[in-house]
Amino acid sequence: MADIETNRYNKYGDLIAVDDGYTIQELIDIVLSRIRMIIGLTLACGLLAFTVSQFVLTPYYEASVKLFVNNSRIGQSDTTSIGDLNASERLVNTYMEIVKSDTVLKKVADSTGSVVSVEQLRDMVSTQPVKNTEIFYVTVTSDVPENARLLADQIARDAPGEIMDFVEATSVKVIDYATLPINPSTPNVKLNTAIGFLLGLILSVLLALLLDMLDVTIRSEEDIAGLLDIPVLGVIPTIGPSNGKETGYGGYSAYRRQHEH
């Protein structure tokens, strides 16, 4: 199949035909010719991502409590039906909404001495069910690890009593209380740094290709042949002294002056 060609005009208005696109070898040559720029930009982006993640972004910590939804109807008979188990699983979603209600959050805020307001606490609290179980987590996120654990434990103490007032014949039991978080959950410095390196590599390679596309310098006879689609009949060599201080016509003139006297 013939190569796809596109029409292009030179500065004299002549129509010329050039190949459309790069070969793999050309792409490799372009990357290698600007490898220092690519490495420099990649390192700079990775270092920037590390610096921002480590020293600029505020670290946040998570503390979680694990709660169990208990359907008191289970155990009243000798057999436990699938319907009873499904009812307990459905209650998980109801319980999670109650935990995030103003009633529960206000009691937690008051019990902890108003460390945070109800509005702030609502943004800090999240819930997540454990799939195919009657268990769910309540997680508190804070920039102070001690506050995250304090508030999570207080929710575990206050929420079951409040839930009992809304949902009859059921209860919530605490499986695990919160532990003091040591490492921040966000930002993930290692992940952000890796993303920075990757983005730097991609952007630097794209920049190298863009610079090559914008560069219209003719460096060799192959460039002329490819640009004008005509054969090259001859090449004028560059003549200069052995020390290489001058090249081209100026170098040739100096060479003649040196040997004529």
Which pLDDT value is given to residue 137?
96
Which pLDDT value is given to residue 162?
86
Which pLDDT value is given to residue 249?
47
127 and 172, same structural domain? yes
| Residues 216-244, mean pLDDT to the nearest whole number | 66
Examine residue 142 and state whether it is found in any structural domain, yes or no: yes
160 and 87, same structural domain? yes
Of the three residues 176, 207, 239, the one that is the final residue of a domain is 176
Read off the DSSP letter of residue 112.
T
Confidence of residue 14 (pLDDT cuts 50, 70, 90): low
Contacts of 7 (CB under 8 A, 6+ apart): 15, 16, 17
Q: Is the pLDDT of residue 82 over 60?
A: no
Which pLDDT value is given to residue 240?
59
167 and 83, same structural domain? yes
Q: Which of 47-56, 125-134, 167-176 has the lowest mean pLDDT?
A: 167-176
Which pLDDT value is given to residue 91?
80
Q: Is the pLDDT of residue 61 over 50?
A: yes
Overall domain count for the chain? 2
Q: Is 234 helix (H, G, I), strand (E, B) or coil?
A: coil
Q: Where are the beta strands (DSSP E) in 143-210?
A: 170-176
Q: Is the pLDDT of residue 135 over 60?
A: yes
167 and 68, same structural domain? yes
Condensed to tens digits (0 to 9), the pLDDT of residues 151-210 reads: 999 999 999 888 888 877 677 889 999 999 999 999 999 999 999 999 999 999 999 999
Residue in this structure with the two tokens 């010719």, named with its chain if needed: 33
Which pLDDT value is given to residue 19?
52
122 and 100, same structural domain? yes
209 and 159, same structural domain? no
Q: What percent of the chain has pLDDT over 90?
A: 50
216 and 171, same structural domain? no
- The parent domain of residue 67 ranges over 61-176
For residues 91 and 62, give the distance between their C-alpha atoms in angstroms, rounded to a whole number.
25
For residues 215 and 217, give the distance between their C-alpha atoms in angstroms, rounded to a whole number.
6
Q: Is the pLDDT of residue 26 over 60?
A: yes
70 and 48, same structural domain? no
Half-sphere exposure of 44 (CA within 13 A, CB side): 9
Mean pLDDT of the chain: 80
Alpha-carbon separation of residue 209 from 29, 88, 215, 219, 225 (angstroms): 10, 60, 10, 17, 22
- CATH number for position 141: 3.30.70.1130
Examine residue 9 and state whether it is found in any structural domain, yes or no: no
Put simply, whether the predicted model's pTM sits higher than 0.85 gets the answer no
42 and 111, same structural domain? no
Examine residue 2 and state whether it is found in any structural domain, yes or no: no
